[in-house]
Amino acid sequence: MMHKIVVFLLLFILLSCANSQPRRPINPKPSTTSFQKSVEASKRLIEFEESEILRFISRDTILNYKTSANGFWYAYNTKIDGQTTTPKTGDLVEFYYDIRNLKNSVIYAKEELGIRTYKIDQEDFISGIQKGIKLMKVGETITFVIPSYNAFGVFGDGNKIEMNTTIISTVTLLNNKN
């Protein structure tokens, strides 16, 4: 009797494993064409924003803009020469700033935004300004022209800044508590 049970179990195991089929996904893979369309749309948006920024910069006869390796443009309103240090990761800085659009219309005035205290690279803030503050010395004022992908991106700020909006911000570094 034991012999029959063992044979039955062996046959059952062999037969149940012999016909295993891999399961097929319920949903097919997403097409790469939608991804490619998204990439192409992003490239067109970046090209458009950069051409608008260059047009704005070319009309500004007062400031001399430089291109940053971090994807924004900047110009010194007030520059301090000398051996003073610039903020680095972990420093606590105080600054005031405003936000304007490419028509130079004020979106948020510096009085509305007030003095901002910010810990370098350890808080969520406008990406372009985060990187730009690292270029500044206490007492300097810099105007940044920041494309949407370094500002508020495809969502805007949920209030006054719409999606894909290039911003201009004039920042004055008041204090660096390193």
Cβ-proximal residues to 164 (8 Å cutoff; 6+ apart), any chain:
45, 49, 148, 153, 154, 156
* pLDDT of res. 95: 97
Of the pLDDT bands very low, low, confident and very high (cuts 50, 70, 90), residue 15 is low
- Sorted by where each starts, the structural domains of the chain and their CATH numbers stand as 65-178 (3.10.50.40)
Of 80, 75, 79, which is closest to residue 62 (Cα–Cα)?
75
Average pLDDT value for residue range 131-147: 96
Residue 16 has pLDDT above 70, yes or no: no
**Which tens digits make up the pLDDT trace of 55-76?**
999 999 999 999 999 999 999 9
Alpha-carbon distances, residue 125 vs 2, 66, 130 (angstroms): 74, 22, 7
Please indicate whether residue 131 or residue 177 has the higher confidence score (pLDDT).
Answer: 131
pLDDT at 9: 65
On whether the CB atoms of residues 50 and 164 are closer than 8 A, the answer is: no
**Cβ–Cβ < 8 Å for 166, 49:** yes
18-68 pLDDT, tens digit each: 556 677 767 666 667 788 888 898 899 999 999 999 999 999 999 999 999
The predicted model gives 102-107 an average pLDDT of: 94
- The Cα–Cα gap between 174 and 112 comes to 17
Decide: helix, strand or coil at residue 94: strand
